[in-house]
Chains A and B, each alone.
Chain A
Amino acid sequence: DAKTTQPPSMDCAEGRAANLPCNHSTISGNEYVYWYRQIHSQGPQYIIHGLKNNETNEMASLIITEDRKSSTLILPHATLRDTAVYYCIVRVNSGNTPLVFGKGTRLSVIA
């Protein structure tokens, strides 16, 4: 079972920041937080991951609370191409541990 809770859907105006929340209150100390997205029927695409510290890359920022029980994925300037299902996943930092997907958040970016 997925160990995260996400809202089923969100809307965001084009050009504005999209803030996608994720609750992972039972996260263990050695579990990372991963974010993936799936655009239409394509394969899921890796966005970002983190353990304790906030992370930023060319796609997004990841803010993890100090107690690590929740996190927020931030798309700073959402575009129509960011419309997708976004998955928040917690996973032990072991290579042979598969990702367990939940239902994710369907983000709709509106012009």
Chain B
Amino acid sequence: DAGITQSPRHKVTETGTPVTLRCHQTENHRYMYWYRQDPGHGLRLIHYSYGVKDTDKGEVSDGYSVSRSKTEDFLLTLESATSSQTSVYFCAISETTKSNPAGELFFGEGSRLTVL
């Protein structure tokens, strides 16, 4: 299994508080992603990164910010959590090489966030 660790795995917080989720990888992969998964919506992309300090928005980026100050860590921050951000958050990593230009994504085990 790809070396991806998400923390915390479970968190309960109150509306209006800041929350940071961490994704840590030991694979030295260039690309990292944050998805959220909700019943009836499937997996939706929040933000992704294509290198240190290089990030871009996904389809549901409002209310979220990210940072990638080093290759191995990709942080997802909810500046002021709302109940609509209650979800399961998945981090993923990928890499492309000459021999494998279509680098597959490997996912972490998820972080379950509940905002009361």
A residues whose Cβ falls under 8 Å from a Cβ of B = 32, 34, 36, 41-46, 49, 51, 91, 93-96, 98-104
Contact = CB atoms under 8 A, between A and B. Distances in A.
B109 interface: yes
Contacts of A91: 102
B104 to A, nearest CB: 4
Contact of A101 (B43, B103, B104, B109): B43
A96 to B, nearest CB: 4
B102 A96 contact: no
Helix, strand, loop or mixed for chain B's interface?
strand
B74 interface: no
Contacts of B95: 95
Interface residues on B, range: 20 to 34
Given A41-B88, A44-B90, A104-B42, A96 B50 contact: yes
Contacts of B35: 101
Helix, strand, loop or mixed for chain A's interface?
loop
B96 interface: yes
Interface of B: 30-31, 33, 35, 42-45, 48, 50, 56, 58, 88, 90, 92, 94-96, 101-110
Q: Which 10 A-B pairs have the closest CB atoms?
A: A43-B107, A95-B96, A96-B50, A101-B43, A93-B102, A46-B104, A32-B102, A93-B101, A44-B107, A98-B45
A82 to B, nearest CB: 18
A45 B45 CA distance: 16
B58 A98 contact: yes
B102 A49 contact: yes
Contacts of A102: 42
